[in-house]
Amino acid sequence: MLKRQTAVGERSLVIYVLEGDPRTNDDWSEVKRRTFGGDDGVEFIDAVQLEAMIAAAPNARHLGITCDEDSMELFIIEWS
């Protein structure tokens, strides 16, 4: 799950992995446990940096994210 830090009183933007969304998968907690183990599975992303990255790619259509044991990579998927 990704959660954007917000100002006081502002609502957070939360993004779940497809299989880990509690709104659509009753087994989401097992998916989370297999994916993140005992960690809470939350990563904070600097919204200003993300918005700049998206603005620099005028054909951006999707945000791609890959994670491994000790790093996370964000990348823009463009369509021509």
**Contacts with 20 (C-beta within 8 Å, 6 or more apart), sequence order:** 1, 28, 31, 32, 35, 41
**Residues 52 and 37 reside in one and the same domain:** no
> Both 54 and 72 in a single domain?
yes
DSSP conformation class of 69: S
Look at residue 8 in the predicted model and tell me its pLDDT: 67
Do 41 and 51 fall into the same domain?
no
Has this prediction a pTM greater than 0.95? no
Whether residues 52 and 78 share a domain: the answer is yes
Question: Looking at the structure, do residues 3 and 28 belong to the same domain, yes or no?
Answer: yes
Number of H helices, E strands in the chain: 2, 5
Residue 19 and residue 1 share a domain: yes
Domain that holds residue 66: 47-80
pLDDT by 10s per residue, the chain, length 80: 445 555 667 776 777 777 888 889 999 888 888 877 777 767 778 888 888 888 898 888 888 888 777 788 888 888 87
